[in-house]
């Protein structure tokens, strides 16, 4: 240690008072992660297990509601089958922008796929653009000679959705990152917007890629006798609930969470109002919503109160159904997506 005495006064230039400038990194890497997110954030928009008899020999059509990305991105579909004898299955995917499943279908995919015997066959169909205004998807399996089991229908954002400069913000609110200034410019300014974009674009994307949290799917044909509630003299309660409780896991969900519902249900005859019910179970503030079985796609919301925290945060839901005297009510599909982040 030395006690140094200056010969003259040390002059400290104002520039010496500047802190180190904000560098490209780590902001550049984080902004690049936004573009990666646009490709890689792929939660299931739809995940449905058809409640169908084992080894069916018939064409089967399934209709379910969707809330696709506002950006009109590509989606991938996975169809899982198990068959005892090898054969070709025709898979058709259609979209609809209305609420009436009797009309308005547009075919986006049709092809035959060979299903091998006694092994799981997963048919993955990629690059199917789903417009933002699509409200329903119909999946049809056509085959009338051999038996099969339709195991699962999975729909998620395709990996082939590269973020690109469109000259304007995406409808979802996502803004892709062009590194022209930050990565290559000499002493390029670090603008506030670049910092904020890391949050706003990431959350815009998260809000836009909806995550299905529960599903019930049966055939779309009217009066499917399997999923029905027939009113009889033994009914002493207004709703029958023959279905298992659904435990939904929603990491990070707000204490009060809204779930957007889409239901397609029908009746053999008679009144159609308030025949389907979905409710939260096991929470003192649990609420229920009743839906109409009009044969049209019905939209509604259910408020739920998640329990526990972290990875285990969950909600229990129960679906029930009722019938009017002498008639049968059928739920063809009932699905939901939570609103996890506020606007």
Partner 1 sequence: MAVRPEIAVWEGVNASDPIINTATPPADGALLREAVAWPLIVSTTPYCGCAHLCYTDPARYNEEHPTHRYHDRYWGVPVAPGATHARLWLTRLMRHTSQYTSLQGPAGQLLNPRYRFLHQSSTTQGGDSHPNISGGPDGHTNHGHGTTGTAWDLNVVFYFWPAAKVSVPNVIYDEDIDPTGDVINDSPSDGMPRQLELEPLKRSKIEPFKTLWVSAVTAWVSRQDDDMGA
Residues 183-212, interacting with partner 1 (CB under 8 A): 190, 192, 195-196, 198-200, 202-207, 211-212
Cα radius of gyration rounded to whole Å, the chain: 27
**Least distance from C-beta 315 to partner 1, angstroms?**
9
Smallest gap, in angstroms, from Cβ of residue 316 to partner 1?
A: 7
CA distances in angstroms from 51 to 34, 57, 277, listed in the order given: 38, 15, 18
| Smaller CB separation from partner 1, 79 or 105 | 79
| Contacts by 24-33, CB closer than 8 A, 24 or more apart | 24/182, 24/183, 24/188, 27/182, 27/190, 27/194, 27/195, 27/198, 28/179, 28/182, 28/183, 30/198, 31/177, 31/179, 31/182, 31/194, 31/197, 31/198, 32/177, 32/179, 33/198
Site for partner 1 in 100-129 (CB under 8 A): 120, 122
State the Cα–Cα distance between residues 218 and 65, nearest whole angstrom.
13
Q: Which stretch binds partner 1 (CB under 8 A): 19-27, 58-66, 162-170, 261-269?
A: 19-27
State in angstroms the smallest separation of the CB of 10 from partner 1.
26
Q: Does 20 bind partner 1 (CB under 8 A)?
A: yes
Distance in angstroms (rounded) separating the CA atoms of residues 64 and 49: 12
Positions in 233-272 near partner 1 (CB under 8 A): 233-237, 240-255
Q: What's the min distance (Å) between Cβ of 107 and partner 1?
A: 24
Q: Which is nearer to partner 1, 47 or 96 (CB)?
A: 47
Q: Would you say 78 or 98 has its CB closer to partner 1?
A: 78
CA nearest neighbour of 280 among 289, 272, 267: 289
Tokens of 120: 């799981």
Query: Which region among 3-11, 24-32, 88-96, 140-148 touches partner 1 (by CB under 8 A)?
Result: 24-32
**Measured between alpha carbons, how far is 231 from 306 in angstroms, rounded to an integer?**
33
224 touching partner 1, by CB under 8 A: yes
Give the nearest distance from C-beta 140 to partner 1 in angstroms. 18
- The verdict on 74 binding partner 1 (CB under 8 A) reads no
Q: Work out whether 222 is an interface residue with partner 1 (CB under 8 A).
A: no
Strand, coil or helix: 198: helix
Instruction: Decide whether 28 or 98 has the Cβ nearer to partner 1.
Output: 28
Our measurement of the distance from residue 229's CA atom to the centroid of its chain's CA atoms, rounded to an integer in Å, reads 28
């Amino acid at each position: 240690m030395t006690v140094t005495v200056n010969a003259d006064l040390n002059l400290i230039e104002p520039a010496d008072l500047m802190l180190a400038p904000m560098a490209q990194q780590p902001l550049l890497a984080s902004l690049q992660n936004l573009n990666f997110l646009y490709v890689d954030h792929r939660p299931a928009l739809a995940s449905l297990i058809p409640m169908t008899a084992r080894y069916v020999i018939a064409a089967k059509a399934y209709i379910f509601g969707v809330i696709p990305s506002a950006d009109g991105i590509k989606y991938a579909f996975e169809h899982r089958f198990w068959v005892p004898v090898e054969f070709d299955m025709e898979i058709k995917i259609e979209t609809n922008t209305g609420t009436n499943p009797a009309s308005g279908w547009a075919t986006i995919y049709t092809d035959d796929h060979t299903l091998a015997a006694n092994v799981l066959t997963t048919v993955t169909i990629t690059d199917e653009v789903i417009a933002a205004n699509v409200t329903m998807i119909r999946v049809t399996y056509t085959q009338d000679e051999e038996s099969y089991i339709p195991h699962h229908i999975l729909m998620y954002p395709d990996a082939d959705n590269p973020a690109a400069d469109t000259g304007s913000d995406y409808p979802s609110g996502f803004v892709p990152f062009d590194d022209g200034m930050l990565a290559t410019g000499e002493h390029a300014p670090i603008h506030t917007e670049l910092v904020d974009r890391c949050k706003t674009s990431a959350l815009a994307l998260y809000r836009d890629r909806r995550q299905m949290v529960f599903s019930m799917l049966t055939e779309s044909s009217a009066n499917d006798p399997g999923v029905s509630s027939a009113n009889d003299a033994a009914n002493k309660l207004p709703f029958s609930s023959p279905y298992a409780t659904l435990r939904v896991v929603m990491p990070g969900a707000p204490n009060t969470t809204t779930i957007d519902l889409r239901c397609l249900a029908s009746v053999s005859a008679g009144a159609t109002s308030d025949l389907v019910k979905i409710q939260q179970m096991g929470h003192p503030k649990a609420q229920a919503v009743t839906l109409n079985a009009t044969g049209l796609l019905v939209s509604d919301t259910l408020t739920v109160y998640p329990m526990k925290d972290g990875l285990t945060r969950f909600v229990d839901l129960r679906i029930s159904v009722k019938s009017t005297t002498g008639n049968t009510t059928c739920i063809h599909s009932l699905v939901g997506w939570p609103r996890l982040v506020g606007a």
